[in-house]
């Protein structure tokens, strides 16, 4: 899920929304929720509209996928297909 994003109004989507688990009285994200950086060209960690900005944000998502694949391997599960590298 993307940090800071609105994820809808059904219970399943509310449960993964950062405003619920990171806000006052929140208990943190469930173990199945992984937070990616919000790609914001003005206030984000990486600024601008260029390809390098997109690649930088994509690297954060790729790191989450790699972590999930490593966890799956430790549990003896077959990981999903690897992500495509950023272009």
Domain boundaries, the chain: 1-33, 36-87
Closest-CA residue to 64 (of 40, 37, 28): 37
Residue-wise pLDDT tens digits, 4-17: 776 667 877 777 78
- Res. 83: pLDDT tops 70: no
| CA 70 – CA 79 distance, rounded (Å) | 8
Say what percent of the chain tops pLDDT 90.
36
Write the pLDDT tens digit of every residue in 35-65.
899 999 999 999 999 999 999 999 999 999 9
Confidence bin at 21 (pLDDT 50/70/90)? confident
């Amino acid at each position: 899920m993307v940090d800071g994003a609105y994820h809808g109004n059904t219970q399943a989507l509310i449960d993964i929304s950062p405003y619920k688990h990171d806000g006052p009285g929140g208990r943190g994200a469930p173990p199945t929720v992984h937070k990616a950086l919000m790609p914001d060209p003005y206030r984000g960690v990486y600024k601008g509209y260029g390809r390098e900005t997109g690649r930088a944000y994509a690297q954060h998502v790729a790191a989450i996928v790699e972590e999930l694949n490593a966890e799956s391997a430790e549990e003896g599960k077959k990981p999903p297909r690897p992500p495509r590298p950023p272009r």
